[in-house]
Structure 1
Amino acid sequence: MSKTTHWKDIVAEKRARQTAAIPKEWLISPPPNTVLDVTEVPEQCGLLSPKELEITNTADVAVLLAKLASAEWSSLEVTTAYYKRAIIAQQLVNCLTEIFVERALARAAELDVYLKATGKVKGPLHGLPISLKDQFRLKGLETTMGYVSWIGKYAEQDSVLVQILYDAGAVPFVQTNVPQTLMWPETYNKVFGRTLNPHNRSLTSGGSSGGEGALIGLKGSPLGVGSDIGGSIRIPASFNGLYGLKPSYGRVPYAGAVNSCEGQESVLSVFGPLSQTLSGVKVFMQAVAAGQPWLKDPLARRAPWDEDLYKLVPYGGGKRLCFGIIWNDGQVAPHPPITRALEITKVALLAAGHEVIDWDHYRHKEILMNVSKIWTAASDSDYADATAPTGEPILNSMNFSEEEYVAEVNTFLPPQKEVSAYDLWKLHLEKRTFRQEYLEQWNKSVNATGTGRPIDAIISPVSANASAPHGFNRSAAYTAIWNALDYPACTFPVTKVDPKVDVKKPAHQFLGDTDKTHYDFYDPEKWANAPVGLQVVGRHQEEEAVIAFAEIIADALKNQSHAKL
């Protein structure tokens, strides 16, 4: 593509091809835009048969895999059911990019033949449809990542993670929408447009894995893969009522995928799973570890699944844990629904016999300033290079209509004038010092717990708000801190915004101008029905423990909820 063809014409051609890829018999009559909550539409639109509804309403991925392994459900019928629901989701919230129905169904049919002929599954993910963020290369398909200039670039081979998923027996079946540049906590680009939140379409689905969040939020995929450099898995997962894991770097292979700001290797993007249940998160991480990614990606670390860590052997077997809880980060106080979620979680954990103590936001502001400078050290040049071939605009807002654009970059992470290599080295050294200090701070907490150990994990907001109106989700402070420290973190759903309960509180002593703006911004009616989630954070490279902590928290919340009935 070149500037001789206007970028809008290139987009029109791409969108026409996407529309043509949807089977006409799968089209529905979507409700008007005034209908904000569309989560029940897949049940009511009439496209899905009773069995397809049963399949796609089976949230537990382990149950799905068991039915596929026993041939009770074929991969072809499971993939067809999820594909139809994914296409419904596309018509409701605009969450998909690449649609390749025949290819996916052919793969599913092959797996059914293999199971029948051998009596064995292909691998731990046999027959399971999996959605992929629009960063993964799939041979023969485009991966645009929201850039007009990347339209027409077809992959010559699969990304390493895609290879591992195929070897594990999975069925990649759709790719999902992202924001231009990826560096946004919302999802909007000039190629595919904006992705909406299915629980309230006036709100954002989050970003940058917002397509994944919205799709799985509508049960259009049982398991998806997103990426996270500052919250891009956890924010969409939380905003859509899902579980989402951000691993430490190197646990899930990145080789062969596309990305923005390539070559920045101090605070790195990571791939991780999103699912309706923690079983999806767990089986994904087990399958990836079993695929030995360190033999296919030179930056992947040798890390087989650690069952002792999952059983929390270093943490007293998980019998009596101590969680540190962050009520605010010293910069922006959370809105009432977030604080209520923290209180609900604390009560549930105490009732389950665990300890919960307050955790200080140790140097969070300085750490976030450091990582922001690293991310933006040369990002303006990266964005300019990516958009130059077609002259497409670089977005400076997620609030623009399809017609509006600007050529100046002014993101929520404004690019800085390029720094020297020596100045960048100093930032890297500063970050390493922060990481050492935070580790020491964590270890010192042994004096505040009653377990004889330091705190076992940290519970924190994912965001100071539950989703946000389009164009207004401008911070990733509560998530990016854990990217800077490279700590694994897993989101878990807690509740939904209830305007009658989550009323606006009297003004507190503001932490700064941003905190006051955030307080003034809150209107519980705008956030009605929005999911509210939190995250649990563990020590560096302890993904198995974080999954186990999340399971313990989820069980405590479930038991507490049942106790109130």
Structure 2
Amino acid sequence: MPHWTALVAEKKQRQLKSIPQEWLVTPPPPSTLDVTGFPESCGLLNVQEIEITNSSVDVLLKKLASAEWTAVDVTTAFSKRAIVAHQVVNCLTEIFIDRALARAAELDDHLKKTGKVVGPLHGLPISLKDQLCIKGLETTMGYVSWIGQYAEKNAVLVDILIECGAVPFVRTNIPQTLMWPESFNNVFGRTTNPYNVSLTPGGSSGGEGALIALKGSPLGVGSDIGGSVRIPSAFCGLYGLRPSYGRVPYCGARNSLEGQDSILSVFGPMTSSLGGLKVFMKAVVNSKPWLKDPLAVRKKWDEDEYDLADHGSGKDLCFAIMWDDGVVVPHPPIRRSLEITKAALQKAGHKVIDWKPIKHKLLEDVARDIWNAASAEDFMITTSSTGEPVIATMELDDADGVAASFRPRNGGVTAYQLWQVQKLRQDLRKEYIDHWNTTASETGTGRPVDAIICPAAPFAATPHGKNRYANYTTVWNALDYSAAIFPVTTVDSTLDGKQPPHNFYDDFDKDVYEMYDPEKFKNAPVCLQLVGRTLEEEAVIKMTEIVDAALAAAK
């Protein structure tokens, strides 16, 4: 086996060859922090391609179904924009545009001959996180040791998306091991945030976040074990959904920590248009994934749940705002976004109360103990064949290793010790559901709180290497609650000045406070999270639509 750097050089060369050479452009100078306007100003996309790539998922599907736009035209437009995006933020891994265009041509031919679409996602280009195996392509997942391993068949979700008429066309970058809320690996390097390239797009679905923010894809699939759909969605100004375990099939995809089935990773949609969440979930769950994946939940799309049958049919909802989690106090832009959302919901006629978080630090510790039970061994075994180093920090200058909080610091535990942690988690889940139910006495609706609105992180997108706290998302993975991300505003140095010190929970809370400088976080999107209960995807999507409409009406 050659030295691992030679494998990387060869892989990068093959990636470059997979890009149509006529689509290479001259990127803006490094001093340009905001590159969101570059795809439209670079000169590669024509007027129609700009219109296509700026369209919402709902509009795209409508025009594809009516043959106003062909699948080939739409796939070409997003492919070109994705390649431009990659040249400015380094967001792609596998690029297979020829294969995508051949698929798009088949769809156009079918529509022309039959007058019928292939499925609910007919002609829609969909990007995929670099875990979702596609027959004949490598799935390295950021590991040098997995270069040269070609998939013999598609992941179940890929098959379902293709059956629904979708057109997979690129896969996107991640951190080595996936277990980090930023995106850097030894194979493809670092992905940056298009709103400010000095900031991270988050992780582990950071390539998806950056690509969709630049409108290089209308809809992507990320995965989420501790926030990996929601953090990049929040850092990149997108909508995203973390479904509960088993709602979206995972079978046939690659992963870290395989065999750990207490706190599971889940696939979920990421998109720049809210309608994309419903379109994706409805298409996937109505395809009966439980017939192809033994761990998929047997639950079709439930229109009654989407109509909020369990939530007063959506009239006079009561939302609870969690201002902080009792561990880390959010930065001023996050606080302002919570206040904006509260005011918008009250103006729309909904009730808003405060959420009292319980045991969030303990839930974080439990999640980490479960993952760390064997993760060091998992990473070591995976990297051992090539000797590539396990990345210890996402810092640009490989500084002091302080940020290495997402790597296990201790050895494994016994099976019995792991069982005790898992039992504690079960007990905490029961305690939390009881806590939620007691809110019925505060809401005035006769029901408990309909949904929780909270930060997705205590900060907006951080400088590279500084995203050191993920428990605003991880806690809901530990509880298996469905949660969505929605955009609210952007960091504004005038409105979001540094506040006087608060009473710090501990030194870590103080460190997070001290890292805030409105100029460093300039132009970063600010999003929030809406949390429902287990397997409440339909209701969570609908309530997110209600919050989104309230925010739009209040502007």
Task: Give the TM-score band, short-chain normalised.
Answer: over 0.9
The match for 1:374 is 370
- The question of 1:512 aligning with 2:509 is answered no
* Alpha-carbon contact 2:394-2:403 (below 8 Å) kept: no
The match for 2:50 is 53
Whole-angstrom distance in 2 between the partners of 1:118 and 1:184: 47
1:242-268: per-residue Cα shift (whole Å, max 9, x none)?
000000000000000000010100000
Whole-angstrom distance in 2 between the partners of 1:63 and 1:57: 10
The match for 2:18 is 21
Aligned with 1:323: secondary structure?
Answer: strand
Instruction: Give the counterpart of 2:527 among 521, 525, 533.
Output: 533
- The question of 1:236 aligning with 2:236 is answered no
* Alpha-carbon contact 2:453-2:528 (below 8 Å) kept: yes
1:347-390: per-residue Cα shift (whole Å, max 9, x none)?
00000000110001111111111111001111000000110010
Whole-angstrom distance in 2 between the partners of 1:549 and 1:83: 32
Aligned with 1:431: secondary structure?
Answer: helix
The match for 1:424 is 418
Give unmatched runs, 5+ long, in structure 1: none
* Alpha-carbon contact 2:403-2:466 (below 8 Å) kept: no
1:506-561: per-residue Cα shift (whole Å, max 9, x none)?
11111110111111111000001000000000011110000001000000000000
* Alpha-carbon contact 1:395-1:407 (below 8 Å) kept: no
Q: Which amino acid in the other structure matches residue 428 of structure 1?
A: Q
1:150-209: per-residue Cα shift (whole Å, max 9, x none)?
000000000000000010000000000000010000000000000000000000000000
The match for 2:273 is 277
Instruction: Give the counterpart of 1:126 among 115, 122, 125.
Output: 122
Aligned with 2:203: secondary structure?
Answer: coil
Q: Which amino acid in the other structure matches residue 53 of structure 2?
A: T
TM-score, structure 2 as length reference: 0.99
- The question of 1:499 aligning with 2:496 is answered no
Instruction: Give the counterpart of 1:448 among 436, 439, 442.
Output: 442
The match for 2:189 is 193
Tell me the CA shift for residue 486 of structure 1: 0.1
Whole-angstrom distance in 2 between the partners of 1:440 and 1:51: 53
Whole-angstrom distance in 2 between the partners of 1:521 and 1:339: 16
Q: Which amino acid in the other structure matches residue 348 of structure 1?
A: A
Tell me the CA shift for residue 412 of structure 1: 2.1
* Alpha-carbon contact 2:45-2:80 (below 8 Å) kept: yes
More displaced 10-residue stretch of structure 1: 366-375 or 414-423: 414-423
The within-5 A match list for 1:130-209 is 130-209=126-205
- The question of 1:548 aligning with 2:542 is answered yes
Aligned with 2:439: secondary structure?
Answer: helix
1:13-58: per-residue Cα shift (whole Å, max 9, x none)?
0000001111111011100111000000011111000000000010
Tell me the CA shift for residue 147 of structure 1: 0.1
The match for 1:298 is 294
1:400-434: per-residue Cα shift (whole Å, max 9, x none)?
46xx6999994424243111111111111100000
Whole-angstrom distance in 2 between the partners of 1:366 and 1:206: 24
Instruction: Give the counterpart of 1:34 among 31, 36, 39.
Output: 31
* Alpha-carbon contact 1:393-1:405 (below 8 Å) kept: no
* Alpha-carbon contact 2:392-2:407 (below 8 Å) kept: no
Q: Which amino acid in the other structure matches residue 252 of structure 1?
A: V
* Alpha-carbon contact 2:234-2:456 (below 8 Å) kept: yes
**Distance of aligned partners of 1:407 and 1:558 in 2 relative to their CA distance in 1, 3 Å threshold:** closer
The within-5 A match list for 1:350-429 is 350-400=346-396, 410-429=404-423
* Alpha-carbon contact 2:127-2:217 (below 8 Å) kept: yes
Aligned with 2:76: secondary structure?
Answer: helix
Aligned with 1:417: secondary structure?
Answer: coil
Aligned length: 555
Whole-angstrom distance in 1 between the partners of 2:16 and 2:6: 15
1:411-459: per-residue Cα shift (whole Å, max 9, x none)?
4242431111111111111000000000000000001111111000000
1:106-136: per-residue Cα shift (whole Å, max 9, x none)?
1101110011011110000000000000001
Tell me the CA shift for residue 501 of structure 1: 1.1
Give the % identical residues: 62
Instruction: Give the counterpart of 1:268 among 261, 264, 270.
Output: 264
Q: Which amino acid in the other structure matches residue 88 of structure 2?
A: L
Give unmatched runs, 5+ long, in structure 2: none
1:278-329: per-residue Cα shift (whole Å, max 9, x none)?
1111100000012110000000010100000000011111011001110001
Whole-angstrom distance in 2 between the partners of 1:200 and 1:449: 40
- The question of 1:439 aligning with 2:433 is answered yes
Tell me the CA shift for residue 90 of structure 1: 0.2
* Alpha-carbon contact 1:395-1:406 (below 8 Å) kept: no
Whole-angstrom distance in 2 between the partners of 1:434 and 1:391: 40
Two-structure CA RMSD over aligned residues (Å): 1.3
TM-score, structure 1 as length reference: 0.97
Instruction: Give the counterpart of 2:74 among 53, 78, 85.
Output: 78
The match for 2:285 is 289
Instruction: Give the counterpart of 1:245 among 234, 241, 245.
Output: 241
Instruction: Give the counterpart of 2:40 among 24, 38, 43.
Output: 43
The match for 1:480 is 474
* Alpha-carbon contact 1:394-1:409 (below 8 Å) kept: no
Q: Which amino acid in the other structure matches residue 26 of structure 1?
A: W
Runs ≥4 in structure 1, deviation > 4 angstroms?
Answer: 404-411
1:45-103: per-residue Cα shift (whole Å, max 9, x none)?
11000000000010x21110010000000000000000000000000100000001111
Q: Which amino acid in the other structure matches residue 423 of structure 1?
A: Q
**Distance of aligned partners of 1:16 and 1:434 in 2 relative to their CA distance in 1, 3 Å threshold:** same
Q: Which amino acid in the other structure matches residue 6 of structure 1?
A: H
The within-5 A match list for 1:339-358 is 339-358=335-354
Whole-angstrom distance in 2 between the partners of 1:557 and 1:408: 38
Whole-angstrom distance in 1 between the partners of 2:478 and 2:310: 25
- The question of 1:9 aligning with 2:24 is answered no
- The question of 1:217 aligning with 2:210 is answered no
